[in-house]
Amino acid sequence: MATLCRPTVSVPEHVLTMEQTLDLARSVHTDHPQLDLALRLIENTGVAKRHVVRPIEETLRHPGFEQRNAVYEAEAKARVPEVVRQALVDADLRPKDIDLIVYVSCTGFMMPSLTAWMINTMGFRTDTRQLPIAQLGCAAGGAAVNRAHDFCTAYPEANALIVACEFCSLCYQPSDLEVGNLLSNGLFGDGVAAAAVRGRGGTGIELRRNGSYIIPRTEQWIAYEVKATGFHFRLDRRVPGTMEPLAPVLKQLAHAHGWDAAALDFYIIHAGGPRILDDLSKYLGVASEAFRFSRTTLTEYGNIASAVVLDALRRLFDENGTHDTARGLLAGFGPGITAEVALGNWSTGREAA
């Protein structure tokens, strides 16, 4: 069975607090007719602070999409190697042991993918498979876990590496006055995460089953408009209500495996916002405390897109609060509206029951 090992997560050194975010919104958008609404929405995110790759003064300037993307590439090359090396150490693997790299990011673009640069500079084999995923947004963290699981199921002796690199601050659009965009300015943060999936052995989540689901006719609810200035985030006001139709999907997947989704030992959930977590808690029938790892990620880092589920999982490792063979669920949600869901047992290398 494939095992998802301990993730490594890194956030940039520049910190932006909720108070600073609100002050900036008031000063930059003084005359906005819906400023009060935007401020209330930002305050309700529960984000105490976020980390960004550039000082706030530079973040607020828009030098053009070309320069923004150059910053993305430079920052990715500077920050990804450290988290990858530590994730491999924690999984007791070397670069040459990796057979597949899944790289997920929705906040910048490179072709060839950063995976090619990693293979050429970090000691990975030249026959390492590459799977870059750019358009699943926040759901890509769950998708990366699931595609690595699929690969290690097809090739039981293989190992995969997952890398999530999100610099959401590079998508800041000072001239975009839509309320959904203003909300995103107070919700999203920057972060880089990596984790290995071992085909054999390892401590972590022994992956058992995965699934994907799209809510019909919601493909415009979370989206980018790609303009000359780059990626403009679009968020439909109906998105917070999507946990009601998605909770049954999680229940069905668990039921197909003989589990009860309301009676698991741990939950690693994408933290799109407190309403998402509150509603999923309600519709799954689990205590709010069950999502404590995701809530802490949201409070301390904001929504770091595809990296959220890896950071929430890291917190489970750090708490040392679960037991061998404990059952759990991991879920990422994003554009589509897409859900990527995985089930697994906690394992220390022995065969799970």
Percent of the chain with pLDDT over 70: 99
Q: Residues 213, 117: one domain? A: no
**Domain assignment of residue 319, yes or no:** yes
pLDDT in tens, 24-37: 889 888 888 888 99
Question: In terms of residue numbers, what domain contains 145?
Answer: 3-198
Same domain, 81 and 184: yes
Q: Are residues 182 and 34 in the same domain?
A: yes
Query: Do 63 and 164 belong to one domain?
Result: yes
Task: Write down which residue in 164, 198, 232 finishes a domain.
Answer: 198
If one counts the domains in the chain, the total is: 2
Residues 295 and 180 in one domain: no
Among the residue ranges 194-208, 225-239, 286-300, the one predicted with the least confidence is 225-239
Note whether residue 95 is domain-resident: yes
CATH number at residue 288: 3.40.47.10
Separation CA 152–CA 30 (nearest Å)? 53
Tell which of 170, 198, 226 closes a domain: 198
Same domain, 193 and 258: no
Mean pLDDT, range 292-318, rounded to an integer: 96
Residue 304 lies in a domain: yes
Q: At residue 352, does pLDDT exceed 50?
A: no
Residues serving a catalytic function are: 138
pLDDT of residue 27: 87
Residue 175's pLDDT is: 85
The arithmetic mean of pLDDT across residues 65-91, rounded, is 97
pLDDT tens by residue, 157-188: 999 999 999 999 999 998 888 888 888 888 99
Averaged pLDDT score across all residues of the chain = 94
Contact 167, 304 (CB under 8 A): no
Residues 168 and 211 in one domain: no
Claim to verify: residue 171 and residue 227 sit in the same structural domain: no
Same domain, 193 and 211: no
Q: Is the same domain home to 240 and 273?
A: yes
Task: Determine, yes or no, domain membership for 122.
Answer: yes
Give the pLDDT band of residue 351 (cuts 50, 70, 90): very low
Same domain, 182 and 242: no
Q: Which of 80-84, 206-210, 235-239, 285-289 has the lowest mean pLDDT?
A: 235-239
Strand pairing class (222-227; 14-17): unpaired
Q: What is the mean pLDDT of residues 270-275?
A: 88
Asked if the structure places residue 353 within a domain, the reply is: no
Has residue 352 been placed in a domain? no
CA dist 189 and 143 (Å) reads 20
Closest C-alpha to 195, from 223, 159, 231, 242: 159
Cα–Cα distance, 80 to 146 (Å, whole number): 21
Whole-structure pTM value: 0.95
pLDDT tens-digit series, residues 49-67: 999 999 999 999 999 999 9
For the four alpha carbons of 184, 269, 313 and 115, in that order, the dihedral sign comes to negative
**195, pLDDT greater than 50:** yes
Point out the domain boundary residue: 151, 175, 198. Answer: 198
Counting every residue written for the chain, the total comes to 353
pLDDT level of residue 350 (50, 70, 90 thresholds): low
DSSP state of 303: B
The per-residue pLDDT for range 142-152, each reduced to its tens digit, is: 999 999 999 99
Q: Which runs of E-coded beta strand occur in 57-148? A: 100-104, 129-133
- pLDDT band at residue 321, thresholds of 50, 70 and 90? low
